[in-house]
Amino acid sequence: MSMDIKTLAQKIDSNKKLVSGHRTCAGCAIPIIVRTILSATDDPLIVAAATGCLEVTSTIYPYTSWNVPWIHNAFENVAATLSGVESAYNALRKKGKIDKEIKFIAFGGDGGLYDIGLQSLSGALERGHNCLYVCYNNEAYQNTGGQRSSGTPKGSMTSTTPAGKKEKRKDLMQIVLAHHIDYAAQAAVHNTLDLYQKAEKAFKTKGPSFLNVLSPCTLNWGYMPNSTIQISKLAVETCFWPLYEVEKGKYKLNYKPSQKLPLEEFFKAQKRFSHLLKPENKNMLDEIQNEVDENWNELLRKSS
């Protein structure tokens, strides 16, 4: 479990499951997230992806960036698709036709898991397939030009909420946890070690596990490609995106900022919140800050 960051970096770097040549934007967090997670098991694995940024950028025919078996079916059904793959594995294992331990992992964006794929995810979680479901959460439909999703935070400008989203984002962690699964965690791209350890735990979990990983989007959050890691860090330092895990119902806070930064610090680094920093919108900023504070305090209570 304990690993220094240098060793981890080497391990991720030597991992050739998702290789270069894919066409994600410069500064995209998704490949970092995927490669970190896939490094966390030495077992063979099979990957399923929902339609979205990861799928379209990594498999432009006749090329593929995947060195592991990979399947894409449609947008809303990554969890159901993988449950079919995992069931096939169980059948073959029962017949003695396969003896290797294989890990099954599904990737979807917030569109693919918070919204259109929520039912498929819920069904698969309830059925208890031995799979890891990962949401690379870039907080909107970034692949199609940045339209709002139910994972888009309140106040955020998107191409379908040009004046800022009015509603709070859905708490997918709570929904997932309502399925009584043994492991679910929230992570972010900048904290590689934390993400890696969570992936390790998820892979070791018997039955379903879930990771919700913040994946800043240079294009539609509106920041320079070299700031992805810094943006992700600010999301955590402001408690906008706390790092925590829930293991068999027990909450654990994985990172507590030594000094909780005001939300403004995170918001001012991106264009999507720029309107909230205007003096006339101060009340909106305060309202969102209050909500972040409430959520943070609740998390502190749950994990104490």
Partner 1 sequence: MKNYNKNKFQALNGGYATAEAMRQINPEVVAAYPITPQTPIIEKFAEFVADNKVDTEFVCVESEHSALSATVGASASGIRAMTATSSQGLALMNEILSVASGLRLPIVMPMVNRALSAPINIHCDHSDSMSTRDLGWIQIFCETAQEAYEYTFLALKLAEKVLLPVMVMQDGFFTSHNVEPVKIYPDEVIKKFIGEYKPKNYLFDLKKPITVGPLVLPDYYFEIKYQEIEAMGEAKKVYLEVGKELKKITGNNYPYFEKYKLEDAEVAIVVSSSSAGTAKVVIDKLRKQGKKVGLLKPILFRPFPQNEIKESLKHLKTLAVLDRSVSFGGEAPLFSEIKNALYPLDKKPKLQSYVFGLGGRDLFEKEVEEVFEELLKNKIGEVKYLGLRK
CB of 181 to partner 1, least distance (A): 16
Decide: is 87 part of the binding site for partner 1 (CB under 8 A): yes
- Contact by Cβ (8 Å): 233, 223: no
89 contacts partner 1 (rule: CB under 8 A):
yes
Amino acid symbol at 113: L
Tell which positions 43-62 bind partner 1, by CB under 8 A.
44, 46, 48, 55-56, 59-62
CB 36 within 8 A of CB 196: yes
The one among 7, 13, 21, 119 contacting partner 1 by CB under 8 A: 119
Nearest CB to partner 1, comparing residues 207 and 222: 207
- Binding segment for partner 1 (CB under 8 A), chosen from 84-92, 177-185, 202-210, 212-220, is 84-92
Q: Is residue 95 close enough to count as binding partner 1 by CB under 8 A?
A: yes
Least gap, CB of 79 to partner 1 (angstroms): 8
Residue 20 in the binding site for partner 1 (CB under 8 A): no
For residues 69 and 257, which CB has a smaller minimum distance to partner 1 in the complex? Answer: 69
Give me the sign of the Cα torsion angle 215, 217, 222, 227.
positive
CA dist., res. 110 & res. 136, Å (int): 7
Residue of 24, 36, 41, 120 that binds partner 1 (CB under 8 A): 120
Cis bond leading into 62, ω under 30°?
yes
Quote the CA–CA distance of 151 and 140 in Å, as a whole number: 7
Say how many CA atoms lie within 13 Å of 71 toward its Cβ. Answer: 17
Q: Based on CB atoms, which residue is closest to partner 1, 83 or 192? A: 83
197 Cβ contact list (under 8 Å, min separation 6): 1, 40
- Kindly report each contact of residues 115-121 with a partner whose C-beta sits within 8 Å and lies 24 or more positions away, as own/partner: 115/149, 115/150, 115/151, 116/75, 116/76, 117/50, 117/75, 117/76, 117/77, 117/78, 117/79, 118/175, 119/76, 120/76, 120/77, 120/78, 120/79, 120/80, 121/78, 121/79, 121/176
Q: Is 123 in the site for partner 1 (CB under 8 A)?
A: yes
- Residue 131 has which token pair? 């799979």
Question: Is 71 or 261 the residue whose CB approaches partner 1 more closely?
Answer: 71
Enter the tokens of residue 170: 């859905």
Q: Does 64 bind partner 1 (CB under 8 A)?
A: yes
**Site membership for partner 1, residue 15 (CB under 8 A):** no
Least gap, CB of 106 to partner 1 (angstroms) = 10
Q: Minimum distance from CB of 65 to partner 1 (Å)?
A: 9
- Residue 82, interface with partner 1 (CB under 8 A)? yes
Under the binding rule (CB under 8 A), the answer on residue 21 touching partner 1 is no
Q: Assess 80 for contact with partner 1 (CB under 8 A).
A: yes
Which residues contact partner 1 (rule: CB under 8 A)?
44, 46, 48, 55-56, 59-62, 64, 66-74, 76-77, 80-85, 87-92, 94-95, 98, 100, 102, 119-120, 122-124, 126-127
